[in-house]
Each structure stands twice: as structure tokens, then as C-alpha cells.
Amino acid sequence: MVAWKNLDTLDSYQALQETKGSVKLTEVMAGESGAERVRKYAVPMAGGLSYHYAAKKVDDVILEKLAALAKEAQLCEKFEELYNGAVINLTENRHVLHHLCRGQLGKQVMADGVDKREFYKGEQDKIAAFANKVHAGEITNEKGEKFNTVVQIGIGGSDLGPRAIYLALENWAATHNTLKMEAKFISNVDPDDPVGVLRGVDVEHALFIVVSKSGTTLETLTNESFVKDALEKAGLDVSKHMLAVTSETSPMAKNSGYLAAFFMDDYIGGRYSTASAVGGAVLSLAFGPEVFASFLDGMAAEDKLSAGDDPMKNPAMLDALISVYERNVLGYPVTALLPYSQALSRFPAHLQQASMESNGKSVNRFGESMNYVTGEVIFGEPGTNGQHSFYQLLHQGTDIIPLQFIGFRKSQNEKDVEVKGSTSQTKLNANVAAQMVAFACGKTDENPAKCFAGDRPSSIIIGDQLTPEACGALLAHYENKFMYQGFLWNVNSFDQEGVQLGKVLANRVLDHNTDGALKEFAALFGI
């Protein structure tokens, strides 16, 4: 029987408090001890990746206590409940089924009278058949010409994940001759977004996918109208250019004006929807269904590892445990996500939503207030660009910000140059290795301005190359990490009530139903 308890009621959490300050990276990461830690503190992941945590402020004693916490918090059992179809999202009375989009981890899950794995797989198959017809020129524009571009219209989870993964695999697909269509994305209700994107699109040869689970999101519906307008002005039949991805119960599902419609449902949270039709349609059209299937295979393989009960062999669980240790014992509220891979340029933006919308909660899953902090602020940029931007504060600022690096031995392209005896890829990776040691060990200097205190924790996920499988494994790792963090904090990671108030007030402004400060702020914009 699973017991959902607050973190501070667990004995193993109290035991962890005693370890605060017991590991000094400046000491343990120096010399042979540091080398030994790098060799020892690593765990394999799926997709050829591995998670390395030698430069985190843990040792065997702390890791043992974290394992005890995992056991007492019943992390493994909670995940098992989730993938076996329990109603984990209590506030919205919903199952949490995104794992079923990439595999069957446990029992058959029946909901709404159907087998949910079959349903998600069925939509994937429909998308694959559709994408193959588009690529083969069997589905064309009115002139019988092939489509060459796909434009996704959506926001939040209906934009960030698919966009991040498209960018992550675009170069890989081009190198492997499987970039079938260029993809673009429109999300912001700022008219400059659709105008800017449409400027670079030959609408006559473009398919537009309107993606909204609810079918009611103001930004998305507005941008849909914007695009329809552009199509009409170009003299094109809108219904020959527009697809929908939505839930079967949404208003969009009842609209017959789309060339095709693909479905997900309320059991797939927006920020967890990349594996569903939300990511499936655009990624299958852009790269071909086989590439999307490989990406899902990577996710499924990582999910399997994430279901294991030994945290030392379960990278997502271990990463979550260490991050909660950093947040609740060491008191660090921010995490920087630093991919040393240009392809992952939008990955931090996606993880911002996935983490912060999931775990930015002040009440536990039963609506009770808690006596500890939750959630983490995530930000990040690809290295080495970040090094020339905000790393100054990371190295010498007064706050300690834990770091999560991601790196790959090989780039996605064959092309590289050798300058001063090393390739660009080698330079990139030399930088990430150097940063980890610089953050951990620091440096003394007579000049205080040149001192580096060190003792700044970091971890790294390393892979051979950012392939579709590796990319899937990476995404699943983070999705599962955020889930485990939520279990530890005892919050509902699958609702997002915090986004509602702003939406309600924005609608009041649009309805001219304002008073007080709202009226005055609106007046500053001439509304």
C-alpha cells in the first residue's frame, strides 16, 4: 500500500539533515580522490548515455541515506501506481499516462472504455500513414505539388517539447538524409511571431498543424486565425493545408475544416506530450515516422531504467534524490541546465516548463500547506555560449547554483575543422571537462578578485552522439526526474492551477471589465 507523506515526516529525510556540509568538493575532487570519484560515481542510461555525479556534494554515506529516502518515500511503488493507471493527478481526477505513448511498462490500462496503449499507438500509426503519404506525394496541395514545410501552431507543452526535439534532431536528420520537411513553430500571441514565421514560409507548400489539447487556448486559436487569413489571402483552400492535434472532447475535434485530425487526451499533460500526437505529427512529418519511432524507443528504454527500485542503477531517481538534497538540505533554489550541444539550444526552455509547471507548488497533493520548499528554478543556455555570458556569476557569485551539464563525444555532422591542433568538437568537450573541475575545485589567488571558492556542484549526462534514441532517453530521464521530485515533495506534479489567475485577469482586460490597478495597467497600453 502506497502512503503519500510529506517529505519532512520521513525519518530518512531527517537523517539526511545531519550530513549538511559534510562533503567539500574542493577536498574530495582534488587529486586521486577526485579521479576515483569520477570513475566510481556514474550510472548507465539508455541511448548510449550515462549520468555522472562525481562532482555533486555526495559521498557513500549520503548516497546510502538517499537510497533509504527513496525506499521510505516509496518512489518505485509510486511510479508503479502511476504507470499501472492509478488516478495520480488528484486535483483534476485524472490518470497520468504519457509513458503509454512510448511503451507498456506495466498492466493494461483501460480508461474511457479503451485500452490506452492501443489508443496512443493507434494515433501514432495514423500519423505515420499520413506522413508517409505526404512524403510520397500522395497527399499534396491543390496543384498536386508536394508540401515541403510543416508549421506547428501551439503554445506551452504544445510547442516547447516538439520545438526543442525538432531542433535537437534537425542536423542529425539532414546528415542522415531523412530531413523530409522543414518545421517551423508559431506560439506567441504577439503578432510579430506569426508575421515573422510566415515571412519565411511558402504557404502554398506548407502544412499547418494546430495543436491544442484543450482546443480553447487563446494564443493558439488567435494564431490559427492569423494563418487562415494568410492562406485565404494567398487564394488557398484552408482545409487542404490545416491539420489538428487535440483531444477528442475539445471544440477543435468537432471542426470538420481540417485535412486530418490526430488525438491525445486529458491523461497526457501538455508538458509531457512530446511523445504523443502533439510531438508525433510534426516530428514524423519533418523526419519520417521511423525517426520518431526511434526517439520513442529511446524514451521507452529510459522509462524501463527509471522504473527500477535501486536508485544507484536508476539515473532519473538518483538525479531527483540528489536535486532534492540540494534544494531541501543544502538550500540551493536554482539549477542551471547547460547542454554542450547547439542542437539542444531549446532543451532548457522545454525543461523550464516541464519542471517549473510540474513542481512549483505550495500545497501538497491533498491541498495542505507544507513546511519545506519545493520546485527548482531552471535556466540554461548551450555551452560554450553560456561561458561567455552568465558563468561569471556561477563561478564567483554569492549564490551557489547546482549545474547539470550534457555533452556528446561526437557532433551530429561529419564536418569539423582542426585549428591549433584540435577540432571544434574537442574544444567544446575540453571546455565542459574544464568547467566541472573549475566549479568543484576552484582556485586560490593573492588577488581576491581572481579567487574561485569552488565547492560548486555539477553533474553531467554524456553520450556518444545526439541520435534520436539518445534524444528520447534524455527527455524521458528529465520527465521521470521531475516526477520523482514531485513524489518526494508530495506535490501533484500533473496539474497547473498557477497559470489560471493570469488568464482570467487577461480576459477581464479584453472584456473591459477592469478596475483599480488592473484598469490602470491596461490603460498604460491604451486598452
The residues assigned a catalytic role are 357, 388, 503
Closer to ligand F6P by Cβ: residue 153 or 436: 153
Q: How far is the CB of 459 from ligand F6P (least distance, A)?
A: 27
Q: Minimum distance between the CB of residue 133 and ligand F6P, rounded to whole angstroms?
A: 26
Choice between 158 and 359, CB closer to ligand F6P? 158
Locate the DSSP E strands across 269-345: 334-340
Distance, CA of 277 to CA of 422 (rounded, Å): 42
The residue from 94, 271, 365, 456 that contacts ligand F6P (CB under 6 A) is 271
State the Cα angle at 523 between 519 and 527, rounded to 5°. Answer: 100
Residues 436-465 that bind ligand F6P (CB under 6 A): none
Work out which of 175, 178, 214, 465 binds ligand F6P, going by CB under 6 A. Answer: 214
Q: Which stretch binds ligand F6P (CB under 6 A): 71-79, 154-162, 366-374, 429-437?
A: 154-162
Beta-carbon contacts of residue 289 (< 8 Å; ≥ 6 apart): 124, 127, 128, 131, 132
Q: How many CB atoms lie within 10 A of CB 417?
A: 8
Q: Give the DSSP H or E segment for 509.
A: helix 500-510
Q: Measured between alpha carbons, how far is 276 from 284 in angstroms, rounded to an integer? A: 11
User: Could you tell me which stretch among 196-204, 213-221, 310-318, 518-526 binds ligand F6P (CB under 6 A)?
Assistant: 213-221
Of 213, 228, 361, 456, which lies in the binding site for ligand F6P, with binding defined by CB under 6 A? Answer: 213
Residues 116, 119, 124, 125, CA torsion sign: positive
335, 431, 511 from 452: Cα distances, Å: 19, 17, 55
Q: By CB under 6 A, is residue 89 in contact with ligand F6P? A: no
- The residue range among 120-128, 151-159, 394-402, 462-470 that interacts with ligand F6P, by the rule CB under 6 A, is 151-159
Stretch of 121-129, 211-219, 235-243, 412-420 contacting ligand F6P, by CB under 6 A: 211-219
Q: Least distance from C-beta 193 to ligand F6P, angstroms?
A: 15
Rounded Cα distance, 164 and 472, in Å: 12
Alpha carbons 93 and 462: distance in angstroms, whole number: 38
Confirm or reject binding of residue 109 to ligand F6P (CB under 6 A).
Answer: no
Q: How many residues of this chain interact with ligand F6P, rule: CB under 6 A? A: 14
**Which of these ranges, 33-41, 149-157, 225-233, 482-490, lies near ligand F6P under the rule CB under 6 A?**
149-157
CB of 245 to ligand F6P, least distance (A): 9
The helix/strand/coil state of 188 is: coil
Q: How far apart are CA 155 and CA 185, in angstroms?
A: 9
Of residues 347 through 386, those in contact with ligand F6P by CB under 6 A are 357
> What letter would DSSP give residue 20?
T
φ/ψ of 438, rounded to 5, equals: -60, -45
Instruction: Candidates 19, 217, 306, 429: give the one binding ligand F6P (CB under 6 A).
Output: 217
Site for ligand F6P in 164-183 (CB under 6 A): none
Near ligand F6P by CB under 6 A: residue from 47, 162, 270, 457: 270
Residue 361's CB: how many other CB atoms inside 10 A?
Answer: 21
DSSP secondary structure of 375-428: --EEE---TTGGGGTTHHHHHHSSS---EEEEEESS-SSS---EETTEEHHHHH
Q: Which of 430, 499, 510, 523 binds ligand F6P (CB under 6 A)?
A: 499
Decide: is 162 part of the binding site for ligand F6P (CB under 6 A). Answer: no
Contact residue for ligand F6P among 212, 223, 384, 467 (CB under 6 A):
212
Choices 126-134, 177-185, 212-220, 372-380; region in contact with ligand F6P by CB under 6 A: 212-220
Q: Answer yes or no whether residue 276 interacts with ligand F6P by CB under 6 A.
A: no
Placement of cell 547539470 in the chain: 404
43-66: b or e for each residue (b if 16 or more CB lie within 10 Å)? bebbbbbebbbbbbbbeeebbebb
Q: Which of 74, 124, 152, 158 binds ligand F6P (CB under 6 A)?
A: 158
Q: How many whole angstroms separate alpha carbon 453 and alpha carbon 400?
A: 10
Q: Which is closer to ligand F6P, CB of 69 or CB of 155? A: 155
CB-nearest residue to ligand F6P: 270
Between CA 6 and CA 1 the distance in angstroms is 16
The grid coordinates of residue 153 equal 501552431
Report in angstroms how near the CB of residue 211 gets to ligand F6P at its nearest. 6
Among 34, 85, 157, 380, binds ligand F6P (CB under 6 A): 157
Mask: binding to ligand F6P, 479-498, rule CB under 6 A, as x and -? -----------------x--
Least separation in angstroms between residue 154's CB and ligand F6P is 6
State the nearest-atom distance from the C-beta of 246 to ligand F6P, in Å: 8
Strand partners, 369: 363
The CA-atom distances, in angstroms, between 243 and each of 163, 207, 285, 394, 517 are 17, 7, 12, 44, 41
Residue 2 near residue 74 (C-beta atoms within 8 A): yes
Closer by beta carbon to ligand F6P, 158 or else 387: 158
Find the shortest distance in angstroms from Cβ 212 to ligand F6P: 3
Q: In whole angstroms, how large is the CA radius of gyration of the chain?
A: 24
Residues that bind ligand F6P (CB under 6 A): 155-158, 212-214, 217, 220, 270-271, 357, 496, 499
